[in-house]
Structure 1
Amino acid sequence: MTKKAENVIVGISIGDLNGIGSEVILKTFEDTRMLEFCTPVIFGNVKVLSFIKKTMDLSCNLHGIDQLDQMVVGKINVLNIWKESVNVDFGKNDETIGKYAVKSFTEAVAALKDKKIDVLVTAPINKYNIQSEDFKFPGHTDYLDQELQGDALMLMVQDKLRVGLFTDHIPVNEVSAHLTEALIRKKLLTINKTLKQDFGLSKPKIAVLGVNPHSGDGGVIGTEDDKVVKPALKKLFEEGVYVFGPFSADSFFGSGQYEKYDAVIAAYHDQGLIPFKTLAFGGGVNYTAGLEGIRTSPDHGTAYDIAGKGIADFNSFKEAVYLALDIFQAREEYNELTKNPLKIKEKQL
């Protein structure tokens, strides 16, 4: 049975307290209409967030709880996952603050695994100060891939613009070695399923960008596109997955070609993220596709340079909440349709 909107529980990890994460979280839910769409639970500490709220002169009311079963619909719930006081020093890179960011994130992920929350929205972390003997991950995505079933794929989303990656946080000189037919196949099957399950597209079309300039120019500028990418795409297309390319990346976005496809997959991080953030910065969302749990985040970082000044734009975080809720509903509908194949045929007609 589909949940009522206000009963969908959005777990929120606080990110780096010295950055803008808490500010954009509180600004998002300062608008009480947001509480008609979901029930937020912030994994942190109500005293710390009250201090930040006062510093930013925000008017939202926080409801501190010590257990998830104490949450109240229609309130901004703050789950106290630590009791000690924390020194917030806006704009400072602090290892101690990094530990609290990890604690918030890992406890929220555990709640997502246990289905105590419905979706997870993560505020930005500092990838350097979160590192420790207990947490050795370059970011949120890799940890989620370990903890949740499925194959994680970074998918940047703004409305109908969706950009995914074959490889994400690895050096450019290692991209070619990672880019195998097996990886390409796995990622494209993941994105194909995601577009159907999470975005309601019955026959999604996926564009793939070439690895090399001009997709290798027939082998003159590298052989990866001809020897690795094209064979993988050909096999998948023959199996009924609508994949196209590889396309020359330099003109693909500027010419508007991306508008013809439901998703675009880039070979490496900057090849996909530079055009995406150019087109969508401030309103884009990072979605970890391919997992059994739903996690989104804003498309920006900790922004230490403006932290504590009360001027952070919260639109991307708000859009991350909206997208998480949309995907939750889409999956509910998809699961209902898969129980009744006749409904799928009716939807496709």
Structure 2
Amino acid sequence: MDKTDKIIVGISIGDLNGIGIEVILKTFEDKRMLEFCTPVLFGATKTISYHKKVLGIETPVHGITSINQVTHSKINILNIWKEEVAIELGTATKISGEYAAKSLASGVEHLKNNTIDVLITAPINKENIQSETFNFPGHTEYLEANLEGKSLMILMTSELRIGLITGHIPIAKVAESITPELIKSKVETMYNSLKQDFGINKPKIAVLSLNPHCGDKGVIGKEDDDIIVPTIAEIAATGKLVFGPYAADGFFGSETYKQFDGVLATYHDQGLAPFKALSFGKGVNFTAGLSHIRTSPDHGTGYDIAGKNLANPSSFIEALFSAIEIFKKRKEYKELTGNPLLVRYS
């Protein structure tokens, strides 16, 4: 591997029948992207070439068989399978899920071994990827099981960061899952991430209510008054700038979110519905709290437009630049906190 200071960006290619490979190829159509990083795709040259031919995309790629063969001026494809793989664009198949899992597993293994600096994951289908080796509701849970730390899914743009207290669980289980311990853990993870990954010295965090209108003093549920309010007060007493709970409708409708560095939603759609309404196509999914950095675009497999050359790479490009920026911020934070004199006088 030739020496360079460029960040090595590992990329899992996602569901082979979706738009993941398309947005990856479109991201690097502009050769200037290679000035910012060295991409390594985990897959197979044959698979990528098939997509290039169907889409009419001429982005050049460079096949390698070992991470030590990476060329920093090219789009590297680390060949982790040799066989022909049946591709049915726009269709969820068992095979496309199986090879998405292989790509992800290889990417995570290289991330753990520090042979890549960050990982960007193209979209998977959460149903067809399931197997004996992948029994997780999504990327976030898989990454937490394979990396060090406690994960927090954060959907982000330059103006908005929304984390989830509960993630990929049924709505029927949300209320019973909201405990003081879980809230404290997620606040701590977001607080630390805002400091080390985004360079915010004194983060200001909002917590959303579980029930409509914060429960209306128990009329629409007691969880907010009994669990969330006292937990926020306990956290705030330690000196952290944590506020809430806020009713989600008014919080986003009045643009109150702009007053905070981070927002914690109590469940998946409470956070993602307003986020995607405000930011779809330019948002990034960042897995905070782990030992290594992973981002992804804010969209899914896009089966309905797969193979039609209609996919917009904007969110993937944002995920790429976000991963690079977070990597730099985290490195800078470690250098500062590792030197007491720098911390004292910075």
Q: TM-score range by the shorter chain?
A: over 0.9
Secondary structure in 2 matching 1:51: helix
Deviation at 1:184, TM superposition (A): 0.3
Deviation at 1:345, TM superposition (A): 4.1
Secondary structure in 2 matching 1:27: helix
1:115 maps onto 2:118 in alignment = no
222-231 or 120-129, larger mean C-alpha shift: 222-231
Superposed counterparts of 1:144-223, under 5 Å: 144-223=143-222
Deviation at 1:231, TM superposition (A): 1.3
C-alpha separation between the residues in 1 aligned to 2:342 and 2:272?
37
1:323 maps onto 2:322 in alignment = yes
Secondary structure in 1 matching 2:87: coil
The residue type equivalent to 1:10 in the other structure is V
Structure 1 unaligned blocks of 5 or more: none
Deviation at 1:275, TM superposition (A): 0.4
C-alpha separation between the residues in 2 aligned to 1:232 and 1:116?
41
C-alpha separation between the residues in 2 aligned to 1:346 and 1:300?
42
C-alpha separation between the residues in 2 aligned to 1:341 and 1:317?
37
C-alpha separation between the residues in 2 aligned to 1:159 and 1:345?
28
C-alpha separation between the residues in 2 aligned to 1:203 and 1:226?
27
1:310 maps onto 2:309 in alignment = yes
Partner of 1:42: 41
1:129 maps onto 2:128 in alignment = yes
C-alpha separation between the residues in 1 aligned to 2:171 and 2:127?
19
Secondary structure in 2 matching 1:59: coil
C-alpha separation between the residues in 2 aligned to 1:180 and 1:301?
30
Deviation at 1:97, TM superposition (A): 1.0
Superposed counterparts of 1:181-330, under 5 Å: 181-330=180-329
The residue type equivalent to 1:26 in the other structure is L
Contact 2:283 2:298 in 1 (8 A): yes
C-alpha separation between the residues in 1 aligned to 2:344 and 2:154?
28
Deviation at 1:341, TM superposition (A): 2.9
C-alpha separation between the residues in 1 aligned to 2:112 and 2:268?
28
Identity of aligned residues (%): 56
C-alpha separation between the residues in 2 aligned to 1:341 and 1:206?
27
Deviation by residue 1:225-255 (Cα, 9 ceiling, x = unmatched): 1111111111111111110000111110110
C-alpha separation between the residues in 1 aligned to 2:99 and 2:272?
28
Partner of 1:54: 53
C-alpha separation between the residues in 1 aligned to 2:332 and 2:279?
28
Secondary structure in 1 matching 2:169: coil
Structure 2 unaligned blocks of 5 or more: none
Q: Give the ranges of 4+ consecutive aligned residues of structure 1 lying more than 4 Å apart after TM superposition.
A: none
Partner of 1:16: 15
Secondary structure in 2 matching 1:39: strand
C-alpha separation between the residues in 2 aligned to 1:210 and 1:160?
21
Partner of 2:64: 65
C-alpha separation between the residues in 1 aligned to 2:168 and 2:243?
25
127-136 or 200-209, larger mean C-alpha shift: 127-136
The residue type equivalent to 2:75 in the other structure is I
Deviation at 1:135, TM superposition (A): 1.3
Deviation at 1:96, TM superposition (A): 0.9
C-alpha separation between the residues in 2 aligned to 1:192 and 1:304?
36
Q: CA RMSD in A?
A: 1.1
Deviation at 1:4, TM superposition (A): 5.9
215-224 or 63-72, larger mean C-alpha shift: 215-224
